C-alpha cells in the first residue's frame, strides 16, 4: 500500500517536467522502496549507487563543515542525477536530461521529498 502511494508521488513528479527521465525512493541503506524507471534500468544498481553517493556526500559535508547535507547533484555528459533526503530514512533520486531547467526541478523535487517524508 505504501509503495503504491510512493509510486503515485513519483509519477506526479515525473509528470511535472519532460526533463525528468526517472525517479526512485530509496532507503538510506540502498533498498529501492518505489521507482519509476525506464525499461532496462536496474533498480538495484540505482539504489546502491544512490546510497553510496549520499553516504559520501554526508561525510564530505560533515568533514568540510558545510552543515547538514541537503542534496547531491551529479552532472554527466548525458544528464543529471539529483539526490535529496526524503525524511530521515529515505532518499529521493531523480535522473534528468542534460538540458534540464534545474531550478524548476529542484523546486519539484523538494515538494515531492516533503510529501514522501510525510508518508514515511
Percent with pLDDT over 70 in the chain: 99
Task: Give mean pLDDT, residues 47-68.
Answer: 91
Q: Is the pTM of this model over 0.75?
A: yes
Where exactly are the structural domains of the chain? 2-119
pLDDT at 1 over 80: no
CATH placement of domain 2-119: 3.30.450.30
**Which residue in 29, 2, 15, 44 sits closest to 108, CA to CA?**
15
Answer yes or no: are the C-beta atoms of 8 and 23 closer than 8 Å: no
Q: pLDDT digits over 64-91, tens only?
A: 999 988 899 999 999 999 999 998 889 9
* Residue 25 burial (CB count, 10 A): 29
Q: pLDDT band at 62, cuts 50/70/90?
A: very high
Mean pLDDT, rounded, of the chain: 91
How many whole angstroms separate alpha carbon 115 and alpha carbon 120? 9
Amino acid at each position: 500500500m505504501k509503495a503504491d502511494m510512493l509510486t503515485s508521488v513519483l509519477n506526479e513528479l515525473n509528470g511535472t517536467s519532460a526533463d525528468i527521465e526517472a525517479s526512485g525512493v530509496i532507503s538510506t541503506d540502498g533498498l529501492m522502496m518505489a521507482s519509476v524507471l525506464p525499461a532496462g534500468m536496474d533498480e538495484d544498481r540505482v539504489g546502491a549507487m544512490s546510497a553510496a553517493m549520499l553516504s559520501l556526500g554526508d561525510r564530505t559535508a560533515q568533514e568540510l563543515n558545510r552543515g547538514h547535507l541537503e542534496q547531491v547533484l551529479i552532472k554527466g555528459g548525458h544528464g543529471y542525477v539529483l539526490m535529496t533526503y526524503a525524511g530521515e530514512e529515505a532518499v529521493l533520486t531523480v535522473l534528468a536530461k542534460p538540458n534540464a531547467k534545474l531550478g524548476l526541478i529542484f523546486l519539484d523535487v523538494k515538494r515531492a521529498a516533503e510529501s514522501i517524508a510525510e508518508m514515511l
